[in-house]
Amino acid sequence: MPPVKRTADDDVYELPVAKKTHPFFTPGVKSPGTFLPSPPTLIHFLHLDPFDRPGSSQVPVVFYDLDGTLIKTRKGGDFPSSRDDWQWWHDTVPSQLKSEWESGKHIIVLSNQGDSREKIRKEWKAKLPLIAAKMPSGVPLRILAALNKFDIYRKPNTGMFDEIVRLYRNQGLEIDMENSVYVGDAAGRAGHQGRKKDHGDSDFKLAINVGIKFLTPEEHFLGKPREHFPNPPNGFRPSKSLSLKLPHVLPTNTPITRTEIEMVLFVGPPASGKTSFFRKHFSSARYEHVNQDLLGTRERCLKVAETFLRTGKSVVIDNTNRNRSTRALWLALSSQLSIPCRVFHFACPLELAIHNNMYRACYAPPGEPSRTLLPLSAFSTYSSAFEKPEKDEGFDEVRTVNLVWEGTDEQRKMWDRYMLEVKR
């Protein structure tokens, strides 16, 4: 076998990686901490068990972000070059962690990790026992890290926090929200006196989403006054960004369904509520559902719809139908069969559709069909080719559907979370 060509990076990345307990420093000496079982897109690392210490059933927690909050790179880069390229964010970090623990608080890190390259991930994982090894003696440290760029665990989504709440409840404990705090550097700050601008605002948004006090590392560790950053943070949140006072369906003076055979075309971005609207209004009126996600191709949709119409059944075409040329195919079919065609246009702002995409994939209430998270490109593709449906295309009627919230107060709270970070 030819010798494997080595690069400088190989030395960095081929070191052993801790799985459970691994002899890290000296053979035979246990490395600090353990990787606990967790879902595939989440890492869960624990160094010493905080539940060993008896205390009240209400536990105050200091939640920390990791990079730029507890630690920073030694070499000054934005990203670490190896597992060893880290140092405490400030000399006072270990003593502060010690005093938080001694004052009765638990210490939990919630971190977003973005790099999907296996080598980088392994290297990052291998750093956690090294951090644990530098913790003040006897102070437990729990670290959760979100690996996917786009899922429920990724801050500002609350999956990691929810996981902690669940874990504590299993121990008969509750997080004491009044006396807990979240410390992070992603607050959406502009650069200031040598400090670079924040890469985003996911830490501040997470704190708002779960309803916990927020501090920057400068406030928490150094006692500095709060710097200015946008509050409320930039970006979409339903209660901040939407008026939900529009009538659900416009015009309001004609019925939604008809008794005579017809074709109904839905027009709207993904995640704008089309399928729910079908289930609520058309399903019980015996309209047939034609959907390209289920049928695969438009040709198949056309064929299936034609069969239904020819056997006397009304159909709803539940696709995005974003432009005139797509809709013309359906109008051609309806006119060929001399069947009227109406449009229901889901006038859902794109930001709301993107938000709902995240909501229904991550927070959908039990009983709702589970939906996969669509990539952002599904929304840009829609909007780039969108042409507003007009009656003169050949439709019998064009109706507008506006979003009306339906669900419990608890679900509404979840829906009203910030779900995406805004980069500065």
Which residue ranges make up the site for Mg ion (CB under 5 A)?
A: 65, 67-68, 185
Beta carbon of residue 135, minimum distance to Mg ion (angstroms, whole number): 19
Least CB distance to Mg ion at residue 63 (A): 12
Minimum CB separation from Mg ion for residue 202, in Å?
8
One-letter-per-residue 3-state SS of the chain: CCCCCCCHHHHHHCCCCCCCCCCCCCCCCCCCCEECCCCCCEEEEEECCHHHCCCCCEECEEEECCECCCEECCCCCCCCCCCCCCEECCCCHHHHHHHHHHCCCEEEEEEECCCCCHHHHHHHHHHHHHHHHCCCCCCCEEEEEECCCCCCCCCCCCHHHHHHHHHHHHCCCEECHHHCEEECCCCCCCCECCECCCCCCHHHHHHHHHCCEEECHHHHHHCCCCCCCCCCCCCCCHHHHCCCCCCCEECCCCCCCCCCCCEEEEECCCCCCHHHHHHHHHCCCCCEEECHHHHCCHHHHHHHHHHHHHCCCCEEECCCCCCHHHHHHHHHHHHHCCCCEEEEEECCCHHHHHHHHHHHHHCCCCCCCCCCCCCCHHHHHHHHHCCCCCHHHCCCEEEEECCCCCCCHHHHHHHCCCCCCCCC
- Identity of the residue, 205 or 322, whose beta carbon is nearer to Mg ion in the bound complex: 205
